Structure 1
Amino acid sequence: MNPLLRRVLAGTAAVLVLATAGWATGRDGTGQHHDRQGHQAHAYTFSRTQAAAIAAQAAAPVRGSEFRAECFSSHRRGDDPIVFPGQAGRSHIHEFYGNRTADASSTLDSLAAGTTNCTPQVDLSSYWTPTLYQNGAPVAPERVTVYYQGITDHTRAVAHPRGLRYVVGNALATSPDQNPAARWSCVGRPESSRDFITCPPGTKLENYLDFPTCWDGRNLDSANHRDHMAYAVGQSCPASHPVVVPRLELLITWPVNGGGLTLAGTRNGANVTNAPGYTFHGDFFNAWNQAELERRVRDCVVAGYICGTDGRPIQQ
């Protein structure tokens, strides 16, 4: 499908989500976080302000300001180098995209020395999400498109710093309204849901996962792997997170339709493979060639062009 048409359908789907979903609650305008150990590090409660900002951002029209990478699943393992660094097998099962070397012990140096299945090859980043299962069998995505988009004040956007890493979504959500960052849909259809959607024959399951666009300008990580990032409210980043970065959006497509869908996840402190669809989440560990990333942000996002995987304008 034409990428622009797909984005239009995604925007329509997001509007439907806004019309039907509730908001996650919080006491103020910043995401609430309590110190947790072990698997509880995957939990996060979005404030009402941030939940509304995420949903509004998902419904925002395409601004003609983006570049992308096309990636595939590289491997599957129970590792999470952000949440459980150095603890191989501690995490629930993740599907890793891009850098072929990613594991529990990954660092910026190890990723930079690795190889990738992404196009372009200068993107050595690692992206990962929970593995999808259908009727108990793991299913690898057919493709993963990583969009870098000028959704927030694109003329001020700067490249993500090398080594930046963060987590989005809510792996321990207990209802769909607790995870506004992810939405499920079917290729070519406008309907979407925060929980699994049953795609009819002839379509394929897909998920859009939206990352924040505001960085605090100092930290490459934080204790809960989130607090150094924030979602913009409208076109404004909060004063605590003044640096605008392109929005990452993962568009993941699986070669499945129908029911019997579950996710790898954590329930009651144990790793499982039957977590619900509204627990979808994702991680990003930036290992781009920095000069190339900066060029693409400047020539595509800031300049207001839609660029291909080569970082050259294909549409204004």
Structure 2
Amino acid sequence: MYWKALSLLAAAAVSVDAAATLRFSCSQLVVERLDPLVNPGMMPSVHLHQVVGGNSFNASMDPATHNIAEESTCTSCTPTEDFSNYWTAVLFFRARNGTFHRVNTFGNELGFTGASGGQTVYYLSSGKVTAFKPGFRMTVGDPSFRTAQQLNAKYRFMDYTCLDSPMTRGGATTSFPNKQCRAGIMVSIRFPTCWDGKNIDSPDHQSHVAYPRGAACPATHPVAIPQVFYETYWDTRPFNDRALWPADGSQPFVWSFGDKTGYGIHGDYMFGWKGDALQRAMDTNCNSDLFSNRINCPTLKTQTLDQANKCTIKRQINEDLDAWLTELPGGMMVT
């Protein structure tokens, strides 16, 4: 049985007795070739990312010296106490002539049309959970994957929805859609929900967390944590002209790290909620209205989409990301 309140909003496998279904908008903070988690200190990083959240995001965010919640002065997310950073790779369209154009994100049309891009973020629980600790970070997915077998063997709930309308919530695939999507493409990324209870990170940024086995966390990762879940709306509508698509009719989209299959889908997360705000929200079963930017959570302070849109940062890497390009940023090869 699936949780009813969000059944129209996501194809997530979460039970209807979820204690918290916190859903909110995070407007675009920056599109930048930086990755403080996988490529700390590297300027520029290997491939391009779209980032939302706190404005202290930069190339080096060592938790021993960088406190996101204290160093950020604004957030592009609706809860004003959430200075976390959430990011994914960037989608590109590859035209018939071999050139590339960046695909923009746009506000989730189920409540967040006023957002200047970015993504929808969820924190979900199905009972008592322990909020993340300061400095916690994790990734999910593997950019080197190119087959369904690789993805399905290791990760759950990472998929694409070809939107015929904003209400489309069926027919998800783990590869890029192979047809034109009238209302854009929604990409869903869900993180594991079990923690080892000790480490705020691990060398691969994944081993300290795990998926549950059945309804319970494994003995190696006994602590239940909120499920972090991203929905990103990519505006592929300007590229629905078949004359631009490859002559053989194959799908034309590619991730900024060079993946033309979609199986390399991945996401990055750095926790940055202020104080015990996230734990309070989970403990008091906070939820969000359908089709609006309203969080039903008296314990949290919130801001409007217009206010969230104003929280942006200037790109540190000087490169043209708005023109037709002869190669992906960083020279990433398409595979």
Structure 1: tracts of 5 or more residues without a match? 12-57, 266-271
Runs of 4+ in structure 1 deviating by more than 6 angstroms, as ranges, are none
Amino acid at match of 2:212: A
Question: Which stretch of the first structure deviates more once superposed, 101-110 or 64-73?
Answer: 101-110
Give the whole-Å Cα distance in 1 for the aligned partners of 2:254 and 2:93: 6
Distance in 2 separating the partners of 1:6 and 1:307: 9
- How far the C-alpha of 1:202 sits from its partner, in A, is 3.5
Instruction: Give the match for residue 42 of structure 1.
Output: none
CA contact (8 A) 1:8 1:61 kept: no
Task: Give the TM-score, by structure 1 length.
Answer: 0.72
Q: Note if contact 2:131-2:279 (Cα within 8 Å) is conserved in structure 1.
A: yes
Partner of 1:192: 172
In terms of Rg, which structure is larger?
2
Q: TM-score, normalised by structure 2?
A: 0.69
Counterpart in the other structure of 1:261: 253
Mark the CA change 1:66 to 1:104 in structure 2 (over 3 Å): closer, same or farther. Answer: same
Match for 1:286 among 271, 281, 300? 271
Q: How many residues align?
A: 251
Which of residues 123, 127, 130 in structure 1 aligns to 2:82? 123
Aligned equivalents of 2:26, 2:78: Cα separation in 1: 6
Structure 1 pair 84/252, CA: closer, same or farther in 2 (3 Å)? same
How many Å separate the matches in 2 of 1:238 and 1:294?
22
1:306 Cα deviation from its structure 2 partner: 2.8
Q: How far did residue 220 of structure 1 move? A: 0.5
Q: Give me the CA root mean square deviation.
A: 2.3
State percent identity of aligned pairs.
29
For residue 145 of structure 2, give the secondary structure of its aligned residue in structure 1: coil
**CA pair 156-306 structure 1, distance change in 2 beyond 3 A:** same
**When you count helix as a share of all residues, which structure comes out higher?**
1
Partner of 2:327: none
Output the CA distance in 2 between the equivalents of 1:191 and 1:229: 29
- Identify, as 1 or 2, the structure richer in strand: 1
Which one-letter code corresponds to 1:261 in the other structure? F
Q: Pairwise mapping of residues 1-316 of structure 1 onto structure 2 (< 5 A)? A: 7-8=7-8, 10-11=10-11, 58-64=12-18, 65-108=20-63, 109=66, 111-112=68-69, 113-114=71-72, 115-135=74-94, 136-143=100-107, 144-150=119-125, 154-179=126-151, 180-181=155-156, 182-187=158-163, 188-198=168-178, 200=180, 202-257=182-237, 258=240, 259-265=251-257, 272=258, 275-300=260-285, 306-307=287-288, 310=295, 312=297
Write the distance in 2 (CA, Å) between the matches of 1:7 and 1:262. Answer: 29
The CA distance in 2 between the partners of 1:288 and 1:189, in whole Å, is: 30
Q: 1:254 to 1:62 in 2, by over 3 A?
A: farther
Q: 1:291 to 1:110 in 2, by over 3 A?
A: closer
CA distance in 1, matches of 2:55, 2:24: 15
Deviates more, 1:182-191 or 1:229-238: 182-191
Shift of 1:61: 4.4
